[in-house]
Amino acid sequence: MISVIDYGMGNLQSVSNALNYLDIPFMITNNKEEIKKSKAILIPGVGAFYDAMKNMRDMGLDKLIKKESTKKPILGICLGMQILFEKGEEVKEIEGLGLIEGTVKKMEVDYKVPHIGWNNIKINNKSDILKDIDEDYVYFVHSYYAETLVEVVDAYCEYGINIPAIVSKGNIYGMQFHPEKSGVVGMRLLKNFWEVVK
């Protein structure tokens, strides 16, 4: 069972639809006991880093997720990926969950921001989550990106700069794009995460 964290910032319906389609057992929850009992944690997210972390702290979920990260796989999607990092600069600077080294910064590029639409990913490290995935197209919606260590970047996309698209560190995974909106490729990635969990 995967706990899909409800902290007031997630696109829960589209994530739920994708997990149902893949027959992956999950529950949408912010109940601490349910989260502790689950085999994995999925953090969705739409909105601003500052608001996300404020909600996490107010609900006491930040400390719980940090503790659970030593025991089970975690996947962050879009904003959910960004808050895995040490800090973010959106709205005003605030500490993230600190599970992966790096800072989430505003994209300063010559292209249109926010970065919205399909973009192909390029493989940097072939981790478990990239099983049967090549340089395929996935769907992005974001204005901020993670400035992080190259060794945690499993895949990136080019949009004026190299944007980390998939990151991992041990059992912690993140996807800057929306796998639930990325067709067959996105479904494959979610299935790969479930394979890691099982």
| Domain harbouring 52, CATH code | 3.40.50.880
Question: Rounded to whole angstroms, how far apart are CA atoms 10 and 166?
Answer: 18
Number of domains in the chain: 1
Residue 62, token pair as written in the block: 């930040």
Question: Across residues 39-45, what is the average pLDDT?
Answer: 96
Catalytic amino acids? 78, 178, 180
pLDDT of residue 9 exceeding 90: no
Question: Rounded to whole angstroms, how far apart are CA atoms 25 and 165?
Answer: 25
Those residues whose C-beta lies under 8 Å from the C-beta of residue 157, and which sit 6 or more positions away, are 119, 120, 121, 122, 138, 140, 163, 165, 177
* 130-181 tens-digit pLDDT: 999 999 999 999 999 999 999 999 999 999 999 999 999 999 999 999 999 9
Provide the sign of the torsion angle of the four alpha carbons 147, 45, 185, 112, taken in this order. Answer: negative
What domain range includes position 132? 2-197
pLDDT bin (cut points 50, 70, 90) of residue 186 is very high
* 56-112 tens-digit pLDDT: 999 999 999 999 999 999 999 999 999 999 999 999 999 999 999 999 999 999 999
**pTM for the whole structure:** 0.96
| % pLDDT > 90, the chain | 94
- Do 16 and 65 meet the contact criterion of CB atoms below 8 Å apart? no
